[in-house]
Structures are given as C-alpha cells and as structure tokens.
Amino acid sequence: MILETERLYLREMEQTDYAALCRILQDEDTMYAYEGAFRDDEVQEWLDR
C-alpha cells in the first residue's frame, strides 16, 4: 500500500493487473491523446516500468 484514505486505496500495480490495464490502454477512445491504443507488448512494457 502506498496511500490510504477513507475513499481511496492506492497501491503499486502488479502483473495481475495486466488484464484491467489492457482494457484501459487498448481502448481507442481512452487513448486518443496517445495517438492510438497500445499493443499487448506495449501494455506489458508500461506495466513493467
């Protein structure tokens, strides 16, 4: 855990978060500011960082 409040629990991402992260980073509408959605390998690189 990094931070906890009454309404928020913040923690570091883990490999088990990969599928949820894919839903965000591979969504064209969400990622328009990044000039497009990420590929699987790009999501993994992002998570590894």
Q: pLDDT (tens digit, 9 = 90+) per residue, 1-49?
A: 789 999 999 999 999 999 999 999 999 999 999 889 999 999 999 999 9
Buried b (16+ CB within 10 A) or exposed e, 11-45: eeeeeeeeeebbeebbeeeeeeeeeebbeeeebee
For residue 30, the enclosing domain spans: 14-48
SS3 29: coil
Q: How many residues does the chain have?
A: 49
Query: pLDDT at position 1, please?
Result: 78
Inside any domain, residue 5: no
Inside any domain, residue 32: yes
Give the number of domains in the chain.
1
Indicate the pTM of the whole model.
0.79
Q: 1 vs 18, 21, 41, 43, CA distance in Å?
A: 18, 18, 27, 22
Inside any domain, residue 1: no
Query: pLDDT at position 35, please?
Result: 86
